[in-house]
Amino acid sequence: MYLKNSKIIVIKIGSSLLVDSNKRIRKKWLSSFASDIKKLKNKNQKIVIVSSGAIALGCKKMNFNKKTIKLDKSQAIASIGQIELMNLFSETFTKFKLNISQILLTLEDTEERRRSLNAKRTFENLFDLDFIPIVNENDTIATTEIKYGDNDRLASRVAQITDADTLILLSDVDGLYTKNPKIFKDAKLIRKINNIKKDLKEIYIKGVNEYGSGGMQTKIEAAKICQLSGCSMIIANGLYLNPISRIIEKNNFTMFKPKVSKLDARKKWIISSIAPKGAIIIDDGAKRALKSGKSLLAAGIKKVSGKFKKGDHIKVLDKKNSECARGLSSFTSDEVIKIMGHHSNEIEKLLGYVSKSEVIHKDDMVEI
């Protein structure tokens, strides 16, 4: 089973799984979901949950009709609902001794490299602290122009940032069908998709598979992002109790296989980045360390060229000015100038604040 070998799993749940059509909170379902998460955590798997529901819970508290609310009002309702949503998660997950945190993201946070890198580090630190990040789109500041519009694509971006192995989209159907199963009895579940263009050639997605608010089209868009990120994606029915256990036991879902390996996707992203903003010249010892798969530390840096910000794409050159690597800097060029040639334990004193020890983390670097 794919989930068994997944070290990092992102799970997206829609508001219809948390609140039913009568505006009742599905507490029994959430409790069964938490039970599933506990099982995954017991196998040392890292979990991220992408959840809708802030506006739905805000409307429930204020007794408003979601369909009649304008954007500016919905931002205020989302602000009210965020507390309700996190209280609901906290109350349920605490019973299973699961620690949770909240991350609010907008489209810009994942599209802009520096913010994306900051988000990645936050996720990594939360994993180290044994916390489960619960991600919501920041509806309180999102506008029509910058909104994801659905959490399927947000979830795929989160999967990309966290280097997840699998993304699970919990839907109201078992997966992607050849026809709309609610209308056609001969509709067949498509169990595996390797090539979206080729495998879905005969299927008119928009016409036959419009489920939920996001619809199946947004799930296909999410799958495209995952396939290029080296991440598997599953569309499965989340309406049942213990939805994750059901995926594992019943094997009844649609699986989108990645086009490239996770490592290749990351390398491609770094190598194909826009023109590097600057360069760092390193000594022979640092060059040997890079070749053996280590991160770049300040001690091995001899010179800094150009002006760059934290998260910018930079070149790594050896003493002969030959490019030996490219990567994303954890520091600004001014900070690197202050700390170059010094040991990691001196960085805090030199900069006057706590910072990372790696100038370029090994995961953010590609050897050339």
Claim to verify: residue 121 and residue 227 sit in the same structural domain? yes
The total number of residues shown for the chain amounts to 368
pLDDT more than 90, % of the chain: 46
Query: Are 331 and 292 in a shared domain?
Result: yes
Residue that the structure tokens 């910058």 belong to: 146
CA 165 remoteness from chain centre:
11
Of 233, 266, 299, the residue at which a domain comes to its end is: 266
CA–CA dist 216, 210 (Å, integer): 6
Domain of 281, in residue numbers: 275-367
Per-residue confidence band for 246, with pLDDT thresholds at 50, 70 and 90: very high
Tell whether 284 and 325 lie within a shared domain: yes
How many Cβ atoms sit within 10 Å of the Cβ of residue 354? 7
Claim to verify: residue 102 and residue 246 sit in the same structural domain: yes
Both tokens of 217, joined, read 């089209």
| Total domains in the fold of the chain | 2
Least confidently predicted of 119-128, 181-190, 248-257: 181-190
pLDDT above 70 covers what percent of the chain?
A: 88
199 and 310 in a single domain? The answer is no
pLDDT value at residue 211 = 37
Residues 280 and 174 in one domain: no
What average pLDDT score do residues 150-158 get? 86
Question: Of 266, 289, 316, which residue constitutes the final position of a domain?
Answer: 266
Average the pLDDT over 339-364 and give the result.
Answer: 91
**CATH number, domain containing residue 123:** 3.40.1160.10
pLDDT at 36: 97
Q: What gap in Å lies between CA 29 and CA 32, rounded to an integer?
A: 5
Quick one: pLDDT band at residue 185, thresholds 50, 70, 90? confident
Same domain, 301 and 341: yes
Helix (H, G, I), strand (E, B) or coil at 177: strand
Do 309 and 190 fall into the same domain? no
Mean pLDDT of the residues in the chain: 85
Q: Per residue in 302-320, is it b (16+ CB within 10 Å) or e — as a string?
A: eebeeebebbbbbbbbbee
| Average pLDDT of the residues in 91-120 | 86
Check the CA dihedral 109-112-114-119 and report its sign. positive
User: What is the model's pLDDT at position 38?
Assistant: 97
Mean pLDDT to the nearest integer, 339-346: 94
Q: Which amino acid is at 248?
A: I
Domain termination residue (choose one: 247, 266, 285) = 266
Torsional sign, CA 83, 85, 86, 92: positive
> How does residue 141 score in pLDDT terms, banded at 50, 70 and 90?
low
Residues 172 and 32 in one domain: yes
Q: Which helix (H) or strand (E) holds 11?
A: strand 8-13
Given this model, what pLDDT does residue 145 score?
43
Residue 146: pLDDT band (50, 70, 90) is: very low
- CATH number for the domain spanning 347: value is 2.30.130.10
Q: d(Cα 333, Cα 312) in Å, to the nearest integer?
A: 10
d(CA 47, CA 10): 6
Take residue 334 and report the two structure tokens written for it. Answer: 């001014």
Q: What would the mean pLDDT of 131-148 be, rounded to a whole number?
A: 70
Mean pLDDT of the region 277-281? 94
Q: Are 62 and 76 in contact (CB under 8 A)?
A: no
Which tokens in the block code for residue 12? 């997206």
pLDDT for 74-92, tens place per residue? 788 888 888 999 999 999 9
* Per-residue pLDDT band at 130 (split at 50, 70, 90): very high
- Minimal CA–CA distance to 280: which of 249, 239, 317, 234? 317
Radius of gyration of the chain measured on its C-alpha atoms: 23
Q: Calculate mean pLDDT across residues 127-134.
A: 96
pLDDT score of 367 more than 70: yes
Q: How would residue 111 be classed by pLDDT, with cut points 50, 70 and 90? A: low
Burial profile 19-40: b = 16 or more Cβ within 10 angstroms, e = fewer: beeeeebbeebbbbbbbbbeeb
The single residue listed with the structure tokens 């595996």 is: 192
> Cβ neighbours of residue 245 under 8 Å, at least 6 residues apart?
36, 39
Judgement on whether residues 256 and 284 belong to the same structural domain of the protein? no
- pLDDT tens digits along 301-334: 999 999 999 888 899 999 999 989 999 899 999 9
The pLDDT confidence band at residue 209, using thresholds 50, 70 and 90, is very low
